[in-house]
Amino acid sequence: MPSNIIRMFKRKLHDDFVLGLFPKTSDPGFIEIMGYGGFDFVIIDLEHGPNSVQSAQNLIRAAEIGGVLPIVRVKEGNSSVAGEVLDIGA
């Protein structure tokens, strides 16, 4: 993930407030538009949503293109699941 997205998010979080959504979508276009719409973060849900690690990879790419920080909620709190998500760019 580009470090400038993380740096801008941290700066805005410190100086102001951040705004994001928790969409239940597997459409990368929707995630990309969120960034263009001015949102700061998007939560990609792998716990209760329709997404898998494979589909989350495209959502993370779309978030990066749109300039919005992708935050991924995983199904389990073990290191192997978290590692898979980190490996795809979260």
The label of the residue with tokens 């459409």 reads: 27
Q: How far lies 25's CA from each of 13, 31, 43, 57, 83, in Å?
A: 25, 8, 10, 13, 22
Q: Which of 17, 48, 79, 80 is catalytic?
A: 48
Residue 32, token pair as written in the block: 């990309």
Residue 48 known to be catalytic: yes
* Catalytic (active-site) positions: 48
